[in-house]
Structure 1
Amino acid sequence: MALFTQLIGAGRPDVVFLHGLFGRGKNWAGIAKTLAEHDHASVLFDLPNHGRSHWSETFDYGAMADEVADELRLKLGSAARVTLVGHSMGGKVAMLLALQHPELVRSLVVVDIAPDISYQVRTSVPLVKAMRGLDLATLTSRGEAEKQLAVDVDDPAVRLFLLQNLKHLRTPGDRNGWQWELNLGLLGDHLDEVAAWPDVDGASYPGPTLWVAGAESPYILPEHQPRMRRLFPQVRLVTIAGAGHWVHADAPEALSAELLAFLAAT
């Protein structure tokens, strides 16, 4: 089953964006539009179990990387050579895709994630609890949903981020209804797999790699650098001041500038 994608910009796409946990491709639309102003067309993916893409029965980084690779070949042909940008969970998918399908990847950008166990993913446990706690059968408005989430989720920005996945629909019998547009059951039950990093058996990706860290984020640590450099020998680490884990939301202008410079150089 094909993954849902959105094209931003004109011409043959040369940039691909992969979002993080509980996200969707459109989270990168603002930065993609900035790139389009500089003649770069982008494809934004909804990864499996997120957004408008299909749900699966298991969580498997390798399978997700293969699925994105198949979709790139389908849409862009066997000669596809893109700059692959992945954030958090999507960054792990991007790293694996570059390692497993290097012929598709001209260059790689990994945003605020490392090729290691991401223990910080456990902070998503209360978010999952809050989303599961919504009584969708009796919910009357998105505002009510936000009010209920606020009991467990203090940050308004995080609440809005989660609520992008709440879809209003009409159910049989002409009754209003709500549903999550993400596979909350699978993702919530498999956070350890989301946090994990698979064994890649000594593989390496030889192409240019930009590794972007949020200065206020704990996801990239000094002890991650040796493995990152073994897997991606051409890696260059940059740190975005004032940004936390969601670098693209916290510092879009700074991140866009780094991406444009990297695209120009590669």
Structure 2
Amino acid sequence: MKLHYRTLGEGPPVIILHGIFGTSDNWQTFGKQLATDYQVFLIDQRNHGLSPHSNTFDYPAMAEDLHEFIQQHQLESPIILGHSMGGKAAMFYATTHPNEFDKLIVVDIAPRSYPVHHQHILSAMSGVDLASASSRRDIEDQLKPHLPDFGVRQFIMKNLKREDNNSFSWKLNLSAIQDNIENVGVAVDTAAPVEKTVLFVRGEKSDYIRPEDEALIQQIFPQASVITIENAGHWVHAEQPEALYKALMKFLG
């Protein structure tokens, strides 16, 4: 699958993978910081943003998309950064192509399995009557009773696009994500540990990476280290971008 992407800066390659319901835009501001030292590739993963849609939506497919992207662009030993679902996709890639990258950075996700917990967002998006909406405000008013958090609503509404006839549609493949949402929570499983340098970054206020997850992290990634960004929840790059940037620069040397 030929993924949509944007490129920033010059230097050693860094690939950034967004999370569920996200797009490459979510990491553009942070990517500009990294672009002072690196060539940053911001990718829309399958069924998200401007990348192609497919009924297949699981980590093996996303890992293969990443492999194809690296091959297509002839990237030598890229650094791979993934947040949440993007972190899982990056881990799957690392276990299947352990010699094709330099370093791995996983932001606020562990290799373990997670229960499905996005149904309320999927339900809210599915319940929007896009045909009757004449403005983004109309859509926000429909989402508000189901997604009372302003930040979550704004994040989800970044998936809206205007069609040529001035109607609205969702950029992401909502039906494929709904049909395969269980796949987003599956665990990383590998017979052989990945002997590359890996950094796991957790938000202090997030429970996505728990202390008890560190044994599994070390089992799969023996050279991994885990750091905590203070005063950050799951959206570390949005909530504490400077602290995350400093931590990554220290890790990357």
Please give the TM-score of this superposition, normalised by the length of structure 1: 0.92
Q: C-alpha separation between the residues in 1 aligned to 2:195 and 2:24?
A: 27
Alpha-carbon displacement from aligned partner over 1:62-113 (angstroms, at most 9, x marks no partner): 1210111111111125xx2111000110000101111111222100000000
Cα RMSD, aligned residues only: 1.3
- Structure 2 counterpart of 1:61: 59
Q: C-alpha separation between the residues in 2 aligned to 1:250 and 1:170?
A: 35
Match of 1:191 among 181, 185, 190: 181
- Structure 2 counterpart of 1:34: 33
Q: C-alpha separation between the residues in 1 aligned to 2:55 and 2:252?
A: 36
What letter is aligned with 1:150?
Answer: K
Match of 2:172 among 178, 182, 185: 182
- Structure 1 counterpart of 2:114: 118
What letter is aligned with 2:47?
Answer: N
Alpha-carbon displacement from aligned partner over 1:244-265 (angstroms, at most 9, x marks no partner): 111111111111111111111x
1:117-196 counterparts in 2 under 5 A?
A: 117-119=113-115, 121-122=116-117, 124-171=118-165, 176-196=166-186
Residue ranges of structure 2 left out of the alignment (5+ in a row) = none
Q: 2:58·2:180 contact (CA, 8 Å) conserved in 1?
A: no
- Structure 1 counterpart of 2:243: 254
What letter is aligned with 1:90?
Answer: G
What letter is aligned with 1:188?
Answer: Q
In the alignment, structure 1 residue 94 sits paired with structure 2 residue 84: no
What letter is aligned with 1:54?
Answer: P
In the alignment, structure 1 residue 23 sits paired with structure 2 residue 22: yes
Q: C-alpha separation between the residues in 2 aligned to 1:151 and 1:46?
A: 29
**How much identity, in percent, do the aligned residues show?**
41
1:190 CA drift (Å): 2.2
Q: 1:59·1:190 contact (CA, 8 Å) conserved in 2?
A: yes
In the alignment, structure 1 residue 76 sits paired with structure 2 residue 74: yes
Q: 2:109·2:208 contact (CA, 8 Å) conserved in 1?
A: yes
Q: 1:13·1:43 contact (CA, 8 Å) conserved in 2?
A: no
1:198 CA drift (Å): 4.5
What letter is aligned with 1:19?
Answer: H
Please give the TM-score of this superposition, normalised by the length of structure 2: 0.96
Q: C-alpha separation between the residues in 2 aligned to 1:64 and 1:117?
A: 17
What letter is aligned with 2:28?
Answer: A
